[in-house]
Every structure is written in C-alpha cells, then in structure tokens.
Amino acid sequence: MVDVEDMLEALNARYEGGDAAAIIDHAVHEAFPGRIAFVSSFGAESAVLLHLMASVDPAVPVLFLDTNKLFGETVRYRSRLQHHLGLEDVRVIGPRKADLEREDPQGTLSMKDPDECCRLRKTEPLTRSLKGFDCWATGRKRHQTTFRKEMEVVEHDGQHYKLNPLASWTRTDIRDYFAAMKLPEHPLVRQGYFSIGCMPCTSKVEDEDDARSGRWAGQAKTECGIHTAKKE
C-alpha cells in the first residue's frame, strides 16, 4: 500500500506548475481511475473546472451540494451548464430531511450559528457522498483567501486525497478562459455576486478581485467547513 505522505509528495512534485488539463487527465486516468469525483457549487467560476474535466472525461461523477438554501439562479445554472458541457453524471446531494427537521426546523440556523448550518447542510452530506471515492477535486485557488494561500495542488483530509488543479490560477486566468471557451456565465455575476454560495450568507461586492468578501460578510468566517474539517 502506498504511504499517503509519499503519494502526496510524488503527486505535488508532478502537478505543481503544471497545466490544469494535464493534471486532471493524470488524476482521472492514472492516479485515481474510477475513484475520483469533482465537487462543484456551480457558482461564479465553476464552469472552468467543469469544462476542463469534461474535456478529459464527461462521465466523471460531479457532486453538487444542494443545501436547500441556494439561489434559484444557481439551480437553473446547474442544469444549463450540465447540458452545455455534456456532463454525464451530476449527482445532487444534500442534507437529510430528518436532520433538517430535527436541527433546523424553522430554517433559521444560518442566522444563529452559520458554522452549524454549514455542517448540517454541507459538510455532513458531502462526507456521506464521498464514500467509495479516494479523491475529490475542487476549484479552489490560492489567491481567494489567506487560508487558501499556501494550499498545495494535492492535499489529504484524513480520508481522501483532495485535488486543486486550479490552485495557481488568477482572476485574469479565469476571465480569459471563460472568454476563450465561450462559457456561459452564472446569471448573478452581472448583478455583483462574484462568489456565490447559499442565499442567506452571500452578498454583492464592489470589487471582483475581493469576491470572497461577499461570503459571510461582516463575520470572521471565510470557509463553509468542507475544506477545513479533518475527516477521521
């Protein structure tokens, strides 16, 4: 059995500074064949990662977290982007009805305790859905937050490898790729939403280069928890 640290060292040595499409191709076909899923919010920048993945293999599973608190525009954008890119295996995942009735019967947990709301609606559903996979891929970039600044292309969360093929991409890289590939834009971007999550915790921002400031505005919170929780 390959040691996790050895695997991380080997993959990061291979992937750091590499082309994102080549990274994805190697991860999908050689490093984790049949054991990798892509996790997408179908948010403002999601089309880039999904387009790259679809160009490698459109049948790779894509996990979409529907928290029951998303903008209607996001749900409709998911359908549009799935059709546009030819994604063959988009799996809609979310919190269990019984858990919501027990822990958030009024649907107001996000206002009282956003960390607990994220655990209930995001972290736990994703943990359940990743069973059977060895690796999951994300669209995170180093420029987005201080927490993400030092992340590697491949990480390990305690149970799974986590692939960040766009880690080194800038806002300019994203804009250029959207234009070059003529990717459809999330409808809320033109309204000033440049980082799009759940409706109660997402705000418009003036500066597109500080997009994450629109998430949990006015709070110290910058992450929902799916990228910070260690899975034992």
Helices (H), the chain: 4-15, 20-26, 46-56, 72-85, 97-103, 109-112, 114-118, 124-129, 171-181
Q: How far apart are CA 218 and CA 203, in angstroms?
A: 10
What average pLDDT is seen over the chain? 90
CA distance 142 to 227: 13
Short-list 29, 51, 31, CA closest to 162: 31
DSSP code per residue over 121-132? IIIHHHHHHTTT
What the chain holds in terms of domains, given with CATH numbers, is 4-189 (3.40.50.620)
If pLDDT is split at 50, 70 and 90, which confidence band does 216 have? low
Q: Is residue 225's pLDDT more than 90? A: no
Which pLDDT value is given to residue 200?
Answer: 87
The angle subtended at Cα 77 by Cα 71 and Cα 82, nearest 5°, is 140
**pLDDT for 175-205, tens place per residue?**
999 999 999 999 999 998 888 989 888 888 7
Tell me which residue has tokens 């891929």.
137
The residue with tokens 């970039």 is 141
Q: What is the pLDDT of residue 217?
A: 63
Helices marked H in 57-213: 72-85, 97-103, 109-112, 114-118, 124-129, 171-181
Length of the chain: 232
Query: 225 or 131: whose pLDDT is higher?
Result: 131
Residue type for 109, please?
L
Predicted local confidence at residue 232, as pLDDT: 45
Instruction: Write the pLDDT tens digit of every residue in 58-83.
Output: 999 999 999 999 999 999 999 999 99
20-40: pLDDT as tens digits: 999 999 999 999 999 999 999
Local confidence band at 223 (pLDDT 50, 70, 90 cut-offs): low
- Catalytically active residues are 224
Residue 231 has pLDDT above 80, yes or no: no
